């Protein structure tokens, strides 16, 4: 079998087109355009690239945005005071603090200082908790994007064994919760979450009907570790040295694409798989924040 490609770039474009239309309708009905405040601390080159993609998407769909660049010397107190101001500013609908933060800052404290009603990343414990108990919440953008891809391609999850490799708060844990949901339209899969202490990873990956890999390790998953017909979602974006490229590196996922695609029924490429969906779902969340759809006031 050679896998069919899950085209995240295409589905992300469709999602952005839909958000653009909805933003336009919202503004035509007399509301101001949604506003996303991005906060970028320090000089992480990868964060610069991600924030660039997010602000370009905002412009495309008609969401207004500003990136506040703060020095990596900023204290926790100063950063929290800045976030408080944004929380209290009625012209700000969504607040996104790009991660990772410099080591002296606690991402937990910073995330908790954001008003959960403006937490378009879906990282605040209020949103994570509500997601866990099946209440409306902002959903972390990458997991929400994966669910959207399954919907678009009519890939069923009900009754399947979904194996998640990586237990991060941003991807692994929330996607395992969404896939495991028993009520509603989505999920209904049986989930296994693997992490760096998992013994014999292959024992788990080989039994997966759906394999979500978000470990941040290039070539972690090879063809011999998966079963025939598996649906593979590769969340990894790793820079590996490549002299043939102008930049000196190329982007690869956590799967050995060539060998895994021979066994899989569906697979996401890197780049062009999950990455663009993360950005598109952020646009959706920002519009939801502006409309106060999740937390009516
Ligand atoms: N760093 C890597 N991914 C993300 C994301 O989705 N949101 C934020 N804020 N930071 C990130």
Q: Where are the domains of the chain?
A: 29-116, 141-275
216-230: pLDDT as tens digits: 999 999 999 999 999
Q: Is 263 left (phi over 0), alpha (psi -120 to 50) or beta?
A: alpha
- Give 28 Cα–ligand 1 centroid separation in angstroms: 31
- Give 227 Cα–ligand 1 centroid separation in angstroms: 31
* Residue-averaged pLDDT of the chain: 98
- The second-level CATH assignment, the architecture, of 29-116 is 3-Layer(aba) Sandwich (3.40)
Task: Give residue 237's pLDDT.
Answer: 95
Residue-by-residue DSSP string for 193-225: EE-TT-S-HHHHHTT-SEEEE-S--TT-B-GGG
89-115: pLDDT as tens digits: 999 999 999 999 999 999 999 999 999
76-89: pLDDT as tens digits: 999 999 999 999 99
Task: Give residue 101's pLDDT.
Answer: 98
Of all protein residues, whose CA lies closest to atom 11 belonging to ligand 1? Answer: 99
Indicate the SS3 state at residue 162: strand
Domain 141-275 has CATH 3.30.420.270: no
pLDDT range class, residue 187, cuts 50, 70, 90: very high
- Whether 1 has a pLDDT exceeding 80, the answer reads no
Q: 177: closest CA among 220, 153, 144, 207?
A: 144
CB of 227 within 8 A of CB of 205?
no
Binding residues for NADP(+): 166-168, 237
Q: Is the CB of 96 under 6 A from ligand 1?
A: yes
Active site residues: 54, 98, 121
Tell me 231's DSSP state: E
31-70: pLDDT as tens digits: 999 999 999 999 999 999 999 999 999 999 999 999 999 9
pLDDT range class, residue 297, cuts 50, 70, 90: confident
Which H or E element spans position 74? none
């Amino acid at each position: 079998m050679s896998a069919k490609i899950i085209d995240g770039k295409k589905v992300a474009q469709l999602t952005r087109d839909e958000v653009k239309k909805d933003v336009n309708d919202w503004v035509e009905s007399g509301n101001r355009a949604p506003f996303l405040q991005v906060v970028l601390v320090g000089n992480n080159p990868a964060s610069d690239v991600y924030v660039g993609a997010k602000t370009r998407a905002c412009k495309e769909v008609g969401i207004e945005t500003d990136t506040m660049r703060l020095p990596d010397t900023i204290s926790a107190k100063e950063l929290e005071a800045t976030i408080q101001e944004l929380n209290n500013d009625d012209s700000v609908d969504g607040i996104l603090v790009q991660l990772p933060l410099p080591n002296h800052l606690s991402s937990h404290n910073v995330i908790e200082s954001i008003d959960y009603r403006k937490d378009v990343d879906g990282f605040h414990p209020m949103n994570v908790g509500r997601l866990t108990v099946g209440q409306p919440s902002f959903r972390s953008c990458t997991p929400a994007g994966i669910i959207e891809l399954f919907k678009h391609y009519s890939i069923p999850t009900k009754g399947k064994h979904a194996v998640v490799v990586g237990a991060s708060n941003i991807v692994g844990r929330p996607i395992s919760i969404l896939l495991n949901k028993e009520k509603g339209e989505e999920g209904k899969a049986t989930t296994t979450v693997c992490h760096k202490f998992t013994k014999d990873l292959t024992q788990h990956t080989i039994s997966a009907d759906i394999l979500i890999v978000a470990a941040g390790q290039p070539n972690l998953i090879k063809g011999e570790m998966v079963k025939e017909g598996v649906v593979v979602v590769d969340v990894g974006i790793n820079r590996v040295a490549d002299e043939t490229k102008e930049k000196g590196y190329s982007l690869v996922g956590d799967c050995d694409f060539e060998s895994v695609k021979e066994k899989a029924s569906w697979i996401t490429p890197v780049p062009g798989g999950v990455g663009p969906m993360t950005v598109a779902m952020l646009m959706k969340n920002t519009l939801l924040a502006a409309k106060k759809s999740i937390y009516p006031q």
